[in-house]
Homo-oligomer: A and B are copies of this chain.
Amino acid sequence: MSGHKVTMLGTGLIGLFYTQTLHGKRNRDRVEVVYSRSQERAAEFAKQFDVPRSTVDLEEAVADPDTDTVLIGLPNHLHEETVELCARHGKAVLCTKPLARKAEEAKRILDTVERAGIFSGYLEDLVYTPKTLKALKAVQAGQIGDVTWARSRETHPGPHSAWFWDAKQAGGGAIVDLGCHCTEIIRNYVGKDNRPVDVMCWHDTLVHPIEAEDNAIALIRFESGAIGQFEVSWTFRGGMDLRDEVAGTEGTIWTNHFLRTGFELFSSGERAGYVAEKAETTSGWMFPVGDEVVELGYVDMFADMFGAMDEGREPMETFYDGYVVNAVMDACYRSAESRRWEPVQLDDWRGGGARRIAPARREWDGKTLIKQEQMPDGRLKLIVKDEATGEFSDVVTEGEPLSKS
C-alpha cells in the first residue's frame, strides 16, 4: 500500500491543482520536492502544501534521490529539455498537456522516453473526468452504436499566466492551450484506433490585443467517417464552458463538466467569496462545481498514472497520444492558413484501423427502408425507396417496426 514520491516542477495553477490532488483526501502519493524559477514562489508553494524541499535548480529537482516520479507543470517550450533530464536520471515522467508545441518536438520527446525505457504518462486531465470515463464505457459497450460525431468545447475568458499569451513560448494560442484537450476527448470517443485523416480549421484573433488566435473551430475527419468538432475560445463570457456532445447511430451523450452540474447558487452579493476557476461573478446566479479536482479529472488521472506504474501497464493516456494530438493541431494551423482541408501527418501511426460507419440495409416489400416511426395513432409510418425507379414513398401500416437484424 505504499505510494510514490514526486518531484513537482512548476508552481502555477496546474502545479497547484496537481499538488492539491496528490495531497488531498486519503491519497498515498506525495510531493517531496518542488521546483520553480522563482525562489520565493518555490518556498511559498512548499510551505502551502507542506512539501519538504524546494529548489530553483531544475536538474537538482529532477535528480532528487528520494523521488521516483517527475511531474512537469512547466510552460510548453520547456517540456523537451525537461523530459531529457528525466531520461538522464531514469525517472518516471508525467507531463502536462500539450506534450509539445509541434508534432516533431512531440516525436522527439516520445523517442527520448522510449529509448530511455522510462515510464511516461500524458497528463490529459479532461479525458479523465468522472463523466467522461463513464461515458466512454457506455460508448465502448455499444450503448450509442457507432459514433458519428463528437463535439468538444472548451472556452473561457483566457488563461491566468502571461506565458500562455506569448505564441513563442506556448507554440500558439487557444488551439494549443485548449484544442489539445478537445482533440484527445474526441479521439477517445471515436476510438483511438480510428485514424484522424484530415482537418479543417478556422481561427481568428477577435478580441484580445495579441498575435495568437483567441478563437478557433476545427473539424477532424476520421477513418470511419466520424467527424470530430472542437470549439475553443479565450473570449467566452460567463465562466468556463466545458461541454462534450457525442452522437451515435443508436444514441446520444451530453456531458457538462463545469457550468451546469446541478449546483446553483444565487447571492445578492452582500458578501462575496471564491466560486470556481474562471468564474466571472460573485453575485447573482453562480454555478460552482462540487469538487474541482475531481470534476476536472485530476483525481482519476493520477489514480490511472500511478496505478499503471504499480501494475506495469500503460496508462490510458500516453506520450504517443500526446504526439497524435500535436499532429492534429499542426494540421489545424496549416488548414487555417491554407483555408482548405489538410492531412494529419503521422509518420508513426500505431492504431489498428477502423471500419466505415455502415448500418445494414433493411428491406420492406422489396424496397429499401429509409425510416420508420410510430405515429400518434399507433400506426407505423415507413419511408421507402424503390431502388429500381429511384422513387421515394410514404407507407402507413398497422405492423410492427422492423428490427435491426
- Interface residues, chain A, with chain B CB atoms under 8 Å away: 1, 3, 24-30, 129-131, 133-135, 137-138, 141-145, 148-149, 151, 155, 157-158, 160-163, 165-166, 200, 202, 204, 206-210, 215, 217, 219, 221, 225, 227, 229, 231, 233, 235-239, 241, 247-257, 260-268, 270-274, 280-291, 294-295, 299-300, 302-303, 306-307, 338-341, 357, 359, 361, 368, 370-371, 373-374, 376, 381, 383-385, 390-394, 404
Q: Decide: A268 and B145 in contact? CB cutoff 8 A.
A: yes
Known: A157-B371, A340-B340, A370-B208. A145 touches B200 (CB 8 A): no
Q: Which residues of chain B come closer than 8 Å to A204, judged between CB atoms? A: 225, 227
Complex CA gap A264/B287 in Å reads 12
Q: Decide: B262 and A208 in contact? CB cutoff 8 A.
A: no
Q: Decide: A262 and B255 in contact? CB cutoff 8 A.
A: yes
Q: Decide: A144 and B202 in contact? CB cutoff 8 A.
A: no
Query: A144 to chain B: closest CB distance in Å?
Result: 6
Using CB atoms, name the residue of chain B closest to A394: B162
Q: Decide: B219 and A131 in contact? CB cutoff 8 A.
A: no
Q: Give which listed residue, B219, B235, B361, B391, contacts A209 with CB less than 8 A.
A: B361
Known: A219-B202, A284-B281. A131 touches B357 (CB 8 A): no
Q: Which residues of chain B come closer than 8 Å to A374, judged between CB atoms? A: 282
Complex CA gap A265/B248 in Å reads 11
Query: A280 to chain B: closest CB distance in Å?
Result: 8
Q: Which residues of chain B come closer than 8 Å to A281, judged between CB atoms? A: 283-285
Q: Give which listed residue, B29, B161, B257, B263, contacts A394 with CB less than 8 A.
A: B161
Q: Decide: B376 and A274 in contact? CB cutoff 8 A.
A: yes
Q: Give which listed residue, B24, B209, B251, contacts A370 with CB less than 8 A.
A: B209
Complex CA gap A148/B204 in Å reads 10
Query: A136 to chain B: closest CB distance in Å?
Result: 12
Q: Decide: B254 and A290 in contact? CB cutoff 8 A.
A: no
Complex CA gap A176/B336 in Å reads 27
Query: A125 to chain B: closest CB distance in Å?
Result: 14
Q: Decide: B263 and A237 in contact? CB cutoff 8 A.
A: no
**Copy total for this chain:** 4
Q: Give which listed residue, B26, B219, B373, contacts A302 with CB less than 8 A.
A: B26
Complex CA gap A257/B237 in Å reads 22
Q: Decide: B225 and A250 in contact? CB cutoff 8 A.
A: no
Complex CA gap A282/B131 in Å reads 17
Q: Decide: B202 and A263 in contact? CB cutoff 8 A.
A: no
Q: Give which listed residue, B160, B162, B266, contacts A237 with CB less than 8 A.
A: B266
Q: Which residues of chain B come closer than 8 Å to A268, judged between CB atoms? A: 145, 237, 250-251, 280
Q: Decide: B371 and A208 in contact? CB cutoff 8 A.
A: yes
Complex CA gap A102/B404 in Å reads 36
Q: Decide: A383 and B165 in contact? CB cutoff 8 A.
A: yes
Q: Which residues of chain B come closer than 8 Å to A135, judged between CB atoms? A: 263, 265
Known: A25-B300, A160-B373. A265 touches B217 (CB 8 A): no
Q: Which residues of chain B come closer than 8 Å to A257, judged between CB atoms? A: 262
Q: Give which listed residue, B149, B254, B280, B383, contacts A162 with CB less than 8 A.
A: B383
Complex CA gap A97/B371 in Å reads 22
Q: Which residues of chain B come closer than 8 Å to A207, judged between CB atoms? A: 148, 249, 357, 359
Q: Which residues of chain B come closer than 8 Å to A30, judged between CB atoms? A: 1
Q: Decide: A285 and B285 in contact? CB cutoff 8 A.
A: yes
Query: A251 to chain B: closest CB distance in Å?
Result: 4
Q: Which residues of chain B come closer than 8 Å to A227, judged between CB atoms? A: 202, 204, 215, 217
Using CB atoms, name the residue of chain B closest to A168: B390
Name the residue among A217, A251, A260, A404 with the largest chain B CB count within 10 angstroms: A251
Q: Give which listed residue, B143, B225, B264, contacts A273 with CB less than 8 A.
A: B143
